[in-house]
Amino acid sequence: MKSAVVVFPGINRERDMMLALESITGQKPLSVWHTETELPKVDLVVVPGGFSYGDYLRCGAIAARSPIMSDIRAKSLKGLKVLGVCNGFQIITEAGLLPGALVRNASLHFVCRQVKLRVENIRTFFTNRMAKGAVVSCPVAHGEGNYICDAETLARLEGEGRVVFRYAEGTNPNGAMHDIAGIVSETGNVIGMMPHPENMIEPLHGRTDCRPLFESLLAA
pLDDT values of the chain reduced to their tens digit, one per residue, 220 residues? 999 999 999 999 999 999 999 999 999 999 999 999 999 999 999 999 999 999 988 999 999 999 999 999 999 999 999 999 999 999 999 999 999 999 999 999 999 999 999 999 999 999 999 999 999 999 999 999 999 999 999 999 999 999 999 999 999 999 999 999 999 999 999 999 999 999 999 999 999 999 999 999 988 8
- CA–CA dist 66, 60 (Å, integer): 10
Which of the 8 DSSP states describes residue 192?
Answer: E
Position 148 scores a pLDDT of 98
One of 14, 94, 144, 198 is an active-site residue; which one? 198
Nearest in space to 212 (alpha carbons), one of 131, 120, 129: 129
Torsion, CA 197, CA 198, CA 199, CA 203, rounded to 10: 100
Task: Note whether 139 and 195 are within 8 A (CB).
Answer: yes
Its pTM surpasses 0.85: yes
Position 108 scores a pLDDT of 97
The H-or-E segment that residue 117 falls in is strand 111-119
Task: Note whether 55 and 18 are within 8 A (CB).
Answer: no
Position 220 scores a pLDDT of 87
Instruction: Mark out the alpha helices in 26-160 (DSSP H runs).
Output: 67-76, 87-94, 151-159
Residues with Cβ within 8 Å of 176's Cβ and at least 6 positions away in sequence, in order, are: 145, 146, 147, 148, 167, 194
One of 34, 94, 138, 196 is an active-site residue; which one? 196
One of 59, 86, 138, 210 is an active-site residue; which one? 86
Position 57 scores a pLDDT of 86
CATH superfamily of 3-219: Class I glutamine amidotransferase (GATase) domain (3.40.50.880)
- Residue 198 annotated among the catalytic residues of the structure: yes
